[in-house]
Structure 1
Amino acid sequence: MTQRQGKHDQLRYVAHPLVYLAEFYPKRKYTCMHIIFSSNSDNKLIEGMCLALLKREDCNVISVDWAAGEYTAGYYVIQARVVDVGKDVGKLLTFLEEEKAISPAMIHVIGHSLGAHISGFAGKFLNGTLARITGLDPAGLMYHSTNETQRLDKSDAHFVDVIHTHGCTVIINQWTDCYGIDENIGDADFWPNGGQRQPACVEGSGGDGA
């Protein structure tokens, strides 16, 4: 997605060499790239985020529908794909760098929940050369108390910022209490409203965060 294209997607993630590019502007003076991980690229929230980024600056924006329709398969099935998807995205970025002269230093990756850890593994694949990773409430289940090689970490990009909105230090029911990780894992970690519950979010629906 670019400013010129508006809301119409022009990039498809397919078999190697991984992408089809219709309108992509690597030589533009202010070119940057934002990559947003979601379980559904048609999600209105993701679309709104993409459009907001384009309104702010003239960029290339990619939304990665990484769950590929498998989100109903269960958390553990999806979580098992995180490392491989991160590596695949690393390969995608390597391809773009080689073919379109996009430097990792121009790339900002944004990931929510498990997507935050995918962002981390993409950064690890590129040896921490990404400009920035933003983790939006990185998933906690299977990531609590793990080391930096197994999750998003501040070493995965030049700058890693994390916003925690649904992370708890005490978990009784791992499925309903808190979905987010309860540790500082970035260069800058933000905990709005204490980072555990957010106003106006519905309790018990997975919406206690934001």
Structure 2
Amino acid sequence: MIAILLFLAFTIVAGLPADHILIRPDHELRYQHVEGGDGLYLADLWTKLSDIQDAARYNPDSQNVYHLFTRDNPSVSQPLLLGNAGLLAITNYEPHRRTIVLLHGYQDNAVGSLNAVLVPAFLAAEDVNVIVVDWSLGSNSVNLATSVANTVTSGESVARFINWLNQAAGVTAGSYHIVGYGLGGHQAGIVGRNVDGDVAYITGLDPSFYLWIINSHKFRPDDGSYTEIIHTNAGINGYLGTLGHVDFYPNGGVNMPGCNGATCDQERSFFYFAESLVSGGFTGRRCATYAGAMSNLCYMWGNLRMGGIAPKTGSRGIYRLETNSRSPFSRG
């Protein structure tokens, strides 16, 4: 799809306007408010020629930035560079530890709320390597379609980085937990399907909804050995239907207690997940469908814990749970 759009961008006749519309999604208003790193942004959902040209200029292999955090450097990161084994050798990276990869969302960066919440939570829960990916040069286009296209190329690039790191350090994909939020939620799946070997655990935190319904690159259940989705703004900024081996719909997946808008709803996904890493809790009851989870009509047998440090490999299904309006959010 991306190759076709690039071909169109460079072969379209010279007489067309500079911002000729290439793709106009059916049944979508052109401008929608979409959750970003620090609030709602008015995003353009139509794809113009200039947007494809912008996406073509983004080179994640050289423009993505990788920040390493460990218990030895919990607040000041150490840089990692694709192909630079010498730099890797002088960092606190340890191959015997599990490695966590964190992917931010639209209009965000490495120092946004996602990483401020999850980096300390992971380091408190376990002695791990935490790699924060800053792909803000790809995610922060005003045009959402450009950022969606860059989500794919960035994910493929992050997978190349992981493949290089694994070869350099002598580790496998089985020691990884990849976590993404919003656009990064889908990118986490893209990374998983492009890494050599099976990633042990992939978590999508309220993966994005706009422009992903029929997108062939969206999160897939088999992107990792165990894949889990936490929906907190379903059908608005977050994806409505199921995407993983297991999908959780806290409070029905929308209108989180204690929140008064879409941004707060979406951010609850990583606050709930962070709490699950440190203290557990969040037991969901099984539902037959996501519609049942959203309408609180869940009569199937079986419970499952949401989130947590360890993958629940082999688990499947849709689950609903209730939360408190403030921390601690878990009701057990």
Q: C-alpha separation between the residues in 2 aligned to 1:124 and 1:116?
A: 13
Indicate which of 103, 108, 115 corresponds to 2:177.
108
Q: C-alpha separation between the residues in 1 aligned to 2:79 and 2:98?
A: 16
CA shift at 1:114, angstroms? 0.5
Letter in 2 for 1:123: G
Post-superposition Cα deviations, 1:91-133, rounded to whole Å, max 9, x if no partner, equal 0110011101121000000000100111111111126611110
Q: Rate the CA distance shift 1:140–1:87 in 2: closer, same or farther, 3 A.
A: same
Paired residues, number: 193
> Could you say what secondary structure the match of 2:100 adopts?
strand
- TM-score, normalised to structure 1, is 0.84
CA shift at 1:18, angstroms? 6.6
Structure 2 residue runs of 5 or longer lacking an equivalent are 1-68, 269-332
Equivalent in the alignment of 2:99: 33
CA shift at 1:44, angstroms? 4.2
Indicate which of 183, 193, 202 corresponds to 1:133.
202
Is the CA contact 1:128–1:158 (under 8 Å) kept in the aligned structure 2?
no
Indicate which of 139, 144, 159 corresponds to 2:226.
159
CA shift at 1:45, angstroms? 4.0
Flag the structure with larger Rg.
2
Equivalent in the alignment of 2:75: 7
Post-superposition Cα deviations, 1:117-174, rounded to whole Å, max 9, x if no partner, equal 111111111266111100000101111254xx42111110000000000112xxxxxx
Ranges of 4+ aligned residues in structure 1 off by more than 4 Å? none
Q: C-alpha separation between the residues in 2 aligned to 1:79 and 1:200?
A: 30
Is the CA contact 1:40–1:67 (under 8 Å) kept in the aligned structure 2?
yes
CA shift at 1:74, angstroms? 3.1
Q: C-alpha separation between the residues in 1 aligned to 2:139 and 2:223?
A: 27
Indicate which of 246, 251, 258 corresponds to 1:193.
251
- The answer as to 2:86 corresponding to 1:17 is no
Equivalent in the alignment of 1:79: 148
Letter in 2 for 1:166: N
Q: C-alpha separation between the residues in 1 aligned to 2:260 and 2:145?
A: 24
Once structures 1 and 2 are overlaid, which stretch shifts more, 73-82 or 186-195? 73-82
Aligned residues: CA RMSD: 2.0
Once structures 1 and 2 are overlaid, which stretch shifts more, 65-74 or 1-10? 65-74
Q: Rate the CA distance shift 1:125–1:70 in 2: closer, same or farther, 3 A.
A: closer
Equivalent in the alignment of 1:171: none
Post-superposition Cα deviations, 1:44-100, rounded to whole Å, max 9, x if no partner, equal 441231111011111100111112385252322211101100100100110011101
Structure 1 residue runs of 5 or longer lacking an equivalent are 169-177
Q: Rate the CA distance shift 1:3–1:105 in 2: closer, same or farther, 3 A.
A: same
Equivalent in the alignment of 1:172: none
- TM-score, normalised to structure 2, is 0.55
Q: C-alpha separation between the residues in 1 aligned to 2:75 and 2:153?
A: 28
Q: Rate the CA distance shift 1:125–1:160 in 2: closer, same or farther, 3 A.
A: same
Indicate which of 125, 136, 143 corresponds to 1:56.
125
Indicate which of 96, 116, 141 corresponds to 2:165.
96
Equivalent in the alignment of 1:180: 238
Q: Rate the CA distance shift 1:144–1:193 in 2: closer, same or farther, 3 A.
A: same
> Could you say what secondary structure the match of 1:81 adopts?
helix
CA shift at 1:40, angstroms? 1.2
